[in-house]
Amino acid sequence: MLKIRGLGMAFGRGGRTVQALDGIDLDVDEGEFLCLVGPSGCGKTTLLRIVQGLVEPSAGRVEVFGHAVTGPTSDCGFVFQQDNLYPWRTVLGNVAFGLQLAGWEAGKAATRAREMIALVGLEGYEESLPVELSGGMRQRVNLARALAPDPKVLLMDEPFAALDALTRESMQRELLRIWQGSGKTVLFVTHQIDEAVVLADRVAVLSSRPGRLSGMFEIAINKDRDTAGDVKRTPEFHAAIDAIRDRIEPGSNGNPLRD
Ligand SMILES: Nc1ncnc2c1ncn2[C@@H]1O[C@H](COP(=O)(O)OP(=O)(O)O)[C@@H](O)[C@H]1O
Ligand SMILES: [Mg+2]
């Protein structure tokens, strides 16, 4: 589904170059949920922007469904940490807007937008403005907007990082529920190891700059994730976190990825 080969990215800065990514090879299977964890500044956002077609890599290539990525397409939906909603548009207007830009007829766009709003649990809030919603609700709108064009791949860049712990947990459950029924391929970036273990089929670890793939972990626990909250109480959950943490920073305590 998603194929990354020899990916490298160097940014030039005042005569100096910053090597953000180096030699990344990564395959994400159709329908797979892959989390990418790594320290701040290691190139996670850059990698997602390259996959999305917003940034041209300085080395290597990316293919989505066998097609080389040369620019943004409707194959990939994107959810950022910031919600980026238009403050003057209603929830419905925000979700439908991208569809209309993509050429959908207004009535069809509105119908599709209503379905997506219901899917993310916001039925009844169609006419609300973003300012009237909580942070968690705004991220639901953001998710609805990304899902509306039915992308094959969902790219998520620390989408829950700004939310409080309880809201984040409920968003993780919601995302798993939506993903499980969808068959979508998800590439999800986080610097929180526990979030990666709760969500992912596999966790890829990026080293600090230049970002290189330094580990890959199969998360074989919690295949039935209806009970994502209970998973956190199992020894397997904590063993997986410890293994990933050891790969990032051997022998460390606490979360080595915290800024
Ligand atoms: N447009 C840019 N121009 C110059 N440097 C950049 C640009 N985007 C990112 N970088 C640099 O590349 C590195 C990786 O950034 P980023 O992908 O945002 O990391 P992460 O998302 O893992 O925190 C950082 O050192 C950052 O300063
Ligand atoms: Mg980032």
Residues 183-208 have a mean pLDDT of: 93
Q: How many angstroms is it from 259 CA to the middle of ligand 2?
A: 11
Check whether residue 18 and residue 144 sit in a common domain: no
Check whether residue 67 and residue 111 sit in a common domain: no
Check whether residue 55 and residue 157 sit in a common domain: yes
In 3D space, the residue among 199, 155, 157, 170 whose CA is nearest the CA of residue 33 turns out to be: 199
Residues 182-209 have a mean pLDDT of: 92
Ligand 1: residue whose CA is nearest its atom 18? 45
For residue 220, how many other CB atoms are within 10 A of its CB? Answer: 10
Check whether residue 101 and residue 139 sit in a common domain: yes
Ligand 1: residue whose CA is nearest its atom 16? 43
The token pair that represents 179 in the structure block: 């993903």
255, part of any domain: no
**Which residue, 149, 166, 201, sits at the end of a domain?**
149
* Ligand 1 site, residue 220, Cβ cutoff 6 A: no
Check whether residue 106 and residue 183 sit in a common domain: no
254, part of any domain: no
pLDDT at residue 226 in the model: 54
Sign of CA dihedral 137, 191, 154, 203: negative
User: CATH number of the domain that 206 lies in?
Assistant: 3.40.50.300
Ligand nearest to the CA of 37: 1
The token pair that represents 40 in the structure block: 């701040």
Q: How many domains does the chain have?
A: 2
- To the nearest whole number, what is the mean pLDDT of the chain? 89
| Strand ranges in the chain using DSSP code E only, listed in sequence order | 2-13, 16-28, 33-37, 59-64, 67-68, 76-79, 153-157, 185-190, 202-206, 213-218
* Ligand 1 site, residue 13, Cβ cutoff 6 A: yes
The SS3 of residue 252 is coil
Check whether residue 239 and residue 116 sit in a common domain: no
Sign of CA dihedral 129, 135, 137, 138: positive
Please say whether the beta carbons of 139 and 163 come within 8 A: yes
256, part of any domain: no
Check whether residue 159 and residue 103 sit in a common domain: no
- What is the signed CA dihedral for 52, 53, 57, 60, rounded to 10 degrees? 80
Residue 253 has pLDDT above 60, yes or no: no
- Give me the domain span that covers residue 15: 2-75+151-248
80, part of any domain: no
Ligand 1: residue whose CA is nearest its atom 2? 11
pLDDT at residue 181 in the model: 81
28, part of any domain: yes
| Neighbour-count burial for 127-162, b at 16+ CB within 10 Å, e otherwise | eebbeebeebbbbbbbbbbbbbbebbbbbbbbbbee
For residue 211, how many other CB atoms are within 10 A of its CB? Answer: 26
Which of 31-45, 69-83, 202-216, 226-240 is predicted with the least confidence, judged by mean pLDDT?
226-240
Q: How many angstroms is it from 189 CA to the middle of ligand 1?
A: 14
- Output the CA–CA distances (angstroms, integers) from residue 165 to 20, 45, 107, 251, in the order listed: 30, 22, 38, 26
Sign of CA dihedral 150, 151, 152, 153: negative
